[in-house]
Amino acid sequence: MLETTRSRKELGERKVSPVMSKNSSQSLSDQLKPFVAPFRIDGSGEFHLKSHKTNEKGGLDKEKAEKIIEANRKRLSDFQEKLYAQDRWSLLLVFQGMDASGKDSAIKSVFDGVNPQGCEVHSFKQPSSRELDHDFLWRTAIALPERGRIGIFNRSHYEDCLVVRVHPEILAKAKIPPQLVTKNIWSERFEDISAFERHLARNGTVILKFFLNVSKEEQRQRFLDRLEEPAKNWKFSMADIAERALWAKYQAAYQEVIRHTSTKSAPWHVVPADHKWFARVVIGSAIVSALDRLDLKFPDVDKASLQEFKQVRTALLAEAQG
């Protein structure tokens, strides 16, 4: 089914995708569908986190995956230029997942080679006192991508329904008037997040959300690596062990979030993340498929400007001879 024998050089020159099927009239989204559709949650069905495998490989091996990842990087880089030139749409990518699920390295890998001027990564940590002086959506709202830009959220407003839900003491310390904190707070937050995201979508922000779904065993292995490899020591935090002990609570909180905030205009992708290379195939494929559907083009230059360009060109050429 997959053609993977072409050399990289050939791929670059002929812009042929390694996942191109024999039917070349297939759209990019159709080609990449096997790596996106099974993992995309848009609210149209029931959602059970347990039915999603963490170790899925989508029929690929690492070598085939690398070719797709590389082809997607090139596509992403091309789309980004047009997105920027058009200055109409913006793209918001939300990354969530347990510690060591691979959020940082996936962002690094998928965006490798994309013009940094068109992208901005925001990492959301524990809120500052200034941030706590506002509603929970404020800090993400001020970090949203401008038109023509790609905004990458490494953790996001969803933490306020995840870590905050798992740790009621965080909510207790927040400065929300106590009579507004009721048992309905989570359903209210889901409703507000969905309305916020719908508003953004209606104004030209394409939103894709990724939950890096790693197994508890794979997290154990990755924590061990962090402890054993000096270059990875800095990534290890004792706090991560405390959160690991709350694994089941986090899984339940993630399931709730995905159940209640998956929509057609802001879908979640439950990304199998035990194999980092497969996670990168899914993430890259979802992003380029969404951009492909926008039918991005470089803006046309009007006739008057073209005429002017001609005159300027002639003048510049004359200058060199003078």
Query: Would you say 290 and 206 are in contact if contact means Cβ atoms under 8 Å apart?
Result: yes
Among 11, 49, 163, 181, binds ligand AMP (CB under 6 A): 163
Residue 155 interacts, among ligand AMP, Mg ion, none and using kind-specific CB cut-offs from 5 to 8 Å, with ligand AMP
Of 23, 24, 51, 126, the one binding ligand AMP by CB under 6 A: 126
- How far apart, in whole angstroms, are the C-alpha atoms of residue 190 and residue 258? 10
Closest CB to Mg ion among 231 and 316?
Answer: 231
Give the nearest distance from C-beta 248 to ligand AMP in angstroms.
17
- Scanning 123-131, 140-148, 209-217, 278-286 for contacts with ligand AMP by CB under 6 A, the matching segment is 123-131
Does residue 160 touch ligand AMP according to CB under 6 A? yes
Which of residues 18 and 102 has its CB atom nearest to ligand AMP in the complex? 102
321 interface partner picked from ligand AMP, Mg ion, none, CB below 5 to 8 A per type: none
Residue 164 vs 206, nearer CB to ligand AMP:
164
* Residue 99 near Mg ion by CB under 5 A: yes
Q: Which is nearer to ligand AMP, 134 or 199 (CB)?
A: 134
Interface size with Mg ion, residues (CB under 5 A): 1
Residue whose beta carbon is closest to ligand AMP: 159
Contact between 160 and Mg ion by CB under 5 A: the answer reads no
> Does residue 170 interact with ligand AMP by CB under 6 A?
yes
Note whether 164 binds ligand AMP by CB under 6 A: yes
- Least spacing, CB of residue 228 vs ligand AMP, in Å: 19
Where does this chain bind Mg ion (CB under 5 A)? 99
Which chain residues interact with ligand AMP by CB under 6 A? 99, 124-127, 155, 159-160, 163-164, 170
